[in-house]
Chain A
Amino acid sequence: MEALALDILTTAAILFVVSTGLMIILGVMKLINFAHGAFLTTGGYIAYLVGAAGLNPWLAVPAAAVLGFLAGLVIERTIIRPLYHRPLDAILATWGLGIVIGQVFALTFGRGVQFAPSPILGTIDVFGNEYSGYRLAMLAVAIVLAVALSALLSFTRFGLNARAVIANEPLARGLGIDSANVRSITFGLGAGLACAAGALITPLLSVDPNMGLPWLVNSFMLVMISGVSFPSLLVASLLLGGSQVLVSTYISPILGGMTIVVLAALILRLKPKGFSRA
């Protein structure tokens, strides 16, 4: 029973960590970043490179965050900004970008599976259960991330501006907030978070040019039903991630793989605003 609870908590934590980058972009920019999967992959390859260079595996996370942030700024400037008034086209452009990034990795590193070292090996004893140390670490990471992002939005100048843009962009512009600047920092932040998340999940996975893709749809669904709030993303990750674990454990892991998508679609059908104004 404790093992099940740990499974649910850590699964939710991983889903949360993977989805934050997508959420912050959707919240501020009102666009779905289909290159999110490719950003996760980028993080994975950075973790692989850090490992291959013999550095401390933990270094991969800040490295991925910084590189992702810079790449995000460039991408926002070149691809996203011209499409600001065409949100559906932005979906397609980011999707195309995802294809390009994936192919670049395939050309550089080959299609094969690479391997990044794990910073925490082995298991930890929790209430008499041997449990994967790294998964437990992800739980801590998710909590720290949730607190840090809430603090960023609540206590910083950027956070204030971002919240103003989320609430009412024309008004925010009228108040002298440089919304273009907010948008590009947001995209950088989202890309940085996605790359860092990619580096974080890699020790549980393998690195290949498509590794981010399977996470894409589940993250979309979580973000769609949680609106623009980190607490509700936490709730959504717990509820849907928990359902996924329960369905996988008691019914079938194959159905478990579809649980988040199907549940989220139904929730949104019945309650179009999702959990955000529950």
Chain B
Amino acid sequence: MKIRTLLLGIGLSVGASAYAAEPIKIGIPVGLSGAASVVAPSAVQASELAVEEINSQGGVLGRQLRLEIADDGSGAQGAQRAYDSLVFQRKVDVIVTSQNTAARNAGLPIVNRGRVPLIYTSFYEGRSCSPWMYINAWVPEQQVAPVVDHFMTEYEAKKFFLIGSDYAFGRGMLQYTREYVESKGGSVVGEAYLPMDGSDWTAIISQLRSANPDALITSTAGGAPNVTLTRQLRAAGISIPYGYYALDEGTAKSMGDNAEGIYIVASYLSSLETDANKAFLEAIEKKFGSSAETPNELSVPQYEAIYAYAAAVEKAGSTDSAAVIQALGEVTVEGPRGSVIMNKQRHASLNMYLGRVAADGSVQLVKSFPKVDPGEQCPQFANK
């Protein structure tokens, strides 16, 4: 409801200036209900901020931007409904989304049918390719190296133990980690998965104990599994170096001292000391006040993607899908994460940051890795 009134407000305030031209519609399918609804508000806020900023500077090609938000219920079936509604009913010009992989996959056929550009803004397990899609978030190639390298050099870790939730992201990340660890001369002494809704890590922790590794890397489903695994590890007194792929700053904070010492790798940390990030944090704070959500690894790319789309439309001179798709690979966005251009086989080189959770739950920057390449993602789009 809040979103609605806000949208209405934006619509009214800009109504006078954009009187002549039809607004450009940006579709945001997002998990307002279901598992993803935890992070949905931050993504929506970031999108609203981007749209407001662009509109206040006169919009794009003289046209205002307008958000169209649809709930995907955090699942494939809901996503199809949301995409149907956005593409065929509300006839959006672009879709920008940080949904989970299943929801995105469910939406792709509809995007293909409706010929609408899609910018995907969530980190994922990689190698999803579609003529209508660009991705500005990280893939395993960018995430794995910093933490594994750090463990190998700082802690002289040789034996790694991997724990994940049994789903595409969990398996994808750990499979790449295994390859990377082995290519660097280390070994993986155990790799164990629990179903996504599993919460009893007892047997895996016992395996971990008897394998006696030097370091632990985990990749579980967001939300509950993050917390249950960490708590049970801590209760079992496991204290080896511990890297976590799917832990976000917010969850780390809520876990308090349980999360202390966990390493996370991200393309965005809210503590980044860059001017762009400070300005962004201020703008969020100013616009949403006390209800402002802490920006995160999903909401910031969402913010940047709307800027990327705006730039691409300017460059293409129209909202024509084919022209915009062409232009999206050529425009650079200077955002909170630094400058991002999606020219690496529809993906982007990103600055990556290795952080460590402190006792108060905040994430301290340990090391940064500029312009990490996403590697071979979609060779079929190599020339574009």
Please report A residues at the B interface, Cβ cutoff 8 Å. 3-4, 7, 10-11, 14, 106, 110-115, 118, 121-123, 130-135, 203-206, 208, 210-211, 213-214, 244-245, 248-249, 252-254, 256-257
17 A-B pairs within 8 Å (CB atoms) are namely A3-B209, A7-B202, A7-B203, A7-B206, A10-B202, A106-B37, A113-B227, A123-B236, A132-B237, A134-B235, A204-B232, A206-B199, A208-B224, A245-B203, A248-B204, A249-B207, A252-B193
Q: A111-B37, A113-B38, A113-B226 are in contact. Are A204 and B203 (CB under 8 A)?
A: no
| Interface segment out of the listed B10-18, B114-122, B248-256, B323-331 | B248-256
A12 → chain B, closest Cβ, in Å?
11
Docked pose: A213 CA to B38 CA in angstroms? 18
Complex contact B254–A205 (CB within 8 A): no
Return chain A residues, CB-CB under 8 Å to B193. 252-254
Measured CB to CB, the closest approach of chain A to B122, in angstroms, equals: 17
Task: Name B199's contact: one of A111, A114, A214 (CB within 8 Å).
Answer: A214
A113 close to B206 (CB less than 8 A) = no
- Give A210 to B228 CA distance when docked, in angstroms: 14
Q: Is B195 among interface residues, defined by CB-CB distance under 8 A?
A: yes
Residues of chain B within 8 A (CB-CB) of A11 are 200, 202
Residue of A nearest to B257 (CB): A121
Residue of A nearest to B166 (CB): A254
B109: Cβ under 8 A from any A Cβ: no
Q: How far is the CA of A11 from the CA of B210 in the complex (A)?
A: 19
Distance in angstroms between the alpha carbons of A7 and B206 in the assembled complex: 8
Q: Which residue of B lies closest to A211 (CB)?
A: B224
Residue among B34, B193, B198, B224 having the largest count of chain A Cβ atoms under 10 Å: B224
Query: Smallest CB-CB separation from B202: which chain A residue?
Result: A7
Do A253 and B237 touch (CB < 8 A)?
no
Tell me if A133 and B235 are in contact (CB < 8 A).
yes
Which residues in B have their C-beta under 8 angstroms from that of A204? Answer: 199, 228, 231-232, 235
A130–B209 CA distance with the chains assembled, in angstroms = 10
Interface size class of B (residues with CB under 8 A): 35 or more
Contacts of A133 in B (CB 8 A): 235
CB distance from B146 to the nearest CB of A (A): 26
Residue from A111, A213, A245, A253 within 8 A of B192 (CB atoms): A253
Besides A113-B223, A257-B195, 14 other A-B contacts (C-beta < 8 A)? A111-B33, A111-B35, A123-B236, A130-B237, A135-B235, A203-B231, A204-B199, A204-B232, A205-B224, A206-B226, A206-B231, A254-B166, A254-B194, A257-B194
Is A4 within 8 A of B194, CB to CB?
no
- CA A3 – CA B204 in complex, angstroms? 12
Interface residues of B in 138-154 (CB under 8 A from A): none
Known contacts A111-B38, A113-B38, A131-B236; A205 and B195 CB within 8 A of each other: no
Q: Which of A10, A122, A248, A254 contacts B237 (CB 8 A)?
A: A122
Residue from B33, B38, B203, B204 in contact with A112 in the complex, judged by beta carbons closer than 8 Å = B38
Determine the residue in chain A with the shortest Cβ distance to B237: A123
Contacts of B200 in A (CB 8 A): 11, 14
* CB-based contact A123/B38 at 8 Å: no
Q: Which 5 A-B pairs have the closest CB atoms?
A: A248-B203, A206-B227, A123-B237, A132-B235, A111-B37
Q: Chain A's nearest CB lies how many Å from the CB of B104? A: 20
Tell me if A118 and B235 are in contact (CB < 8 A): yes
B273: which A residues are within 8 A, CB to CB? none
**Distance from A197 Cβ to chain B, minimum over Cβ atoms (Å):** 14
Check A115/B35 contact, CB under 8 A, given A123-B235, A130-B236.
no
Q: How far is the CA of A4 from the CA of B206 in the complex (A)?
A: 8
A interface footprint on B214-241 (CB within 8 Å = 1, 0 otherwise): 0000000001101110011001110000
Contact of B227 among A115, A121, A254 (CB under 8 A): A115
Q: Which residues of A contact B33 (CB under 8 A)?
A: 111
Give CA–CA (A260, B329) in the complex, Å. Answer: 51
A160-B144 Cα distance, complex, nearest whole Å:
63
Q: Are B251 and A118 in contact (CB under 8 A)?
A: no
Contacts of B223 in A (CB 8 A): 112-113, 206, 208
Chain B contacts for A214, CB-based, 8 A: 197-199
A112 to chain B: which residues have CB within 8 Å? 38, 223, 254
Closest approach, in angstroms, between the C-beta of B278 and any C-beta of chain A? 26
Identify A253's interface contact among B34, B37, B198, CB under 8 A.
B198
In the assembled complex, the Cα of A213 lies from the Cα of B228 at a distance in Å of 15
Most buried by A among B166, B200, B226, B228: B200
